[in-house]
Amino acid sequence: MALTVYFTTEIARVLASLAVATSGVVPEVVLDVDDPATRRMLADAYRQGAQNALVSVGLAFGLEPIGLPAQDVRQVEHRPPLLWAEIPRDG
């Protein structure tokens, strides 16, 4: 069951803002890796984990992610930001 809140629009805006902010972030430790392929793999894994965390928080508040890329995220250089839509409540 989703958390009952009244400000889902504001929560969706914060999540979208965080999605944009984390889309270009790479942890400092990743930059220390010499191999470019490994560095890219680690950066992609970090970004995917950040996206998964934001999606989990959104779902907890009854916000469904929309705008997720259909293709493999490892093949997308610049992914579109996540957006959220309120999940209809039963009853």
* Tens-place pLDDT, residues 11-46: 888 888 888 888 777 888 888 889 999 988 998 888
Asked if the model's pLDDT at residue 70 lies above 50, the reply is no
In a domain, 78, yes or no: yes
Residue 14 lies in a domain: yes
Structural domains in the chain (count): 1
Question: d(Cα 30, Cα 38) in Å, to the nearest integer?
Answer: 9
How buried is residue 72: exposed, middle or buried, by Cβ count under 10 Å (0-12/13-18/19+)? Answer: exposed
Please indicate, yes or no, if residue 2 is contained in any of the structural domains.
no
Rounded to 5°, the CA angle 58-13-11 comes to 45
Nearest to 58 by CA among 15, 17, 89: 15
Q: 37 in a domain, yes or no?
A: yes
22 within some domain: yes
pLDDT averaged over every residue in the chain: 75
Mean pLDDT of all residues in 59-65: 84
Residue 3 lies in a domain: no
Angle ∠(53,11,6) on CA atoms, nearest 5: 130
Domain of residue 40, residue span:
8-86
The answer as to whether 31 is a domain residue is yes
Closest to 31 in 3D by CA, of 20, 52, 46, 17: 46
Higher pLDDT, 6 or 63: 63
Residue 27 is assigned to a structural domain of this protein: yes
**Model confidence pTM above 0.75:** no
